[in-house]
Chain A
């Protein structure tokens, strides 16, 4: 073996990852007779030792708890969405035998939803005192250029402000812009907390039972209180929910 051949093996020798035992032995024998290659191997080993010391020091470095919380929330939201998409075809198979009954039920649900939407809108417009509890624009504001401008009641979710931080925007906009959504104002979940003091916020789309509407003072229909409603939840750095808005 000469120095040129040794150079091809130097990294693997330093890493002790050379699978060919004969080549390894020849390489090591070469370092006994060639000071230059012995120094080369020592250099590689010294470099690897330095790198591995850094790797060992970094072994405990992990993403903060807020990333864990966000991903678990995303997993739960996706699981709910997947489960509902599985249930629907099953119902449609049953519906082949009872299609007229299902059609009637579906029509009834559509009418009920329309009536609820009208009642909800009219109730909200007659509830000025509720505005006190509404967290006006500031909840999603973060200092500096990452601030989100005011989000009005019944704003179309597809029309998102362009200066919303990408991380927040990405998780807030689950649907494509052409699938316009109607959203409520954000409701604070912690009275008196100033969210502008937080370094960063995350918005996660989730599905909650209809009864959650009542938690923030919105009207709840007893017949639909167990049906899922979509909501955007604002999470702080610690992963705790700070504000919520509902989505239609």
Chain B
């Protein structure tokens, strides 16, 4: 590891990342959807000018497909609600047709409805064969969503379990130091 995003891309891995801090890292809060769509793709094309046509199409597509509520694709994303901001971010990341999709706390601070939209999108990606790495804390969600769950505790891996057979108690114990001595199965 320790590679920057460009180096990872050059290795041929299309990595998409939904960071936990949406407006502080994944998106530019003061820019509209169009300019935010460009963040990943603005280097494309020759010449010194940035082409805003493809990002505009992409923005409109995401508004339609994910039902983003916004006054317009140039409205600063800061003005959108949390759920809509997340749809913009996840929509952009998915649109790059990634091989690996990382999502860190993708539903933090979202309402139930938006949360389920995000879960549905992640599941769709999973069905399409994308490796989804989901970082979360909600046990119910983890058990529903994941095939495999890797539990970290105190900076160490305390175990890997099968998401279909694991129980909440099992995972919960592994999240504490209790699992370290005798809890391992």
- Asked if A and B are interacting partners, one says no
Chain A contact residues, CB within 8 Å of chain B: none
* Chain B residues within CB distance 8 Å of chain A: none
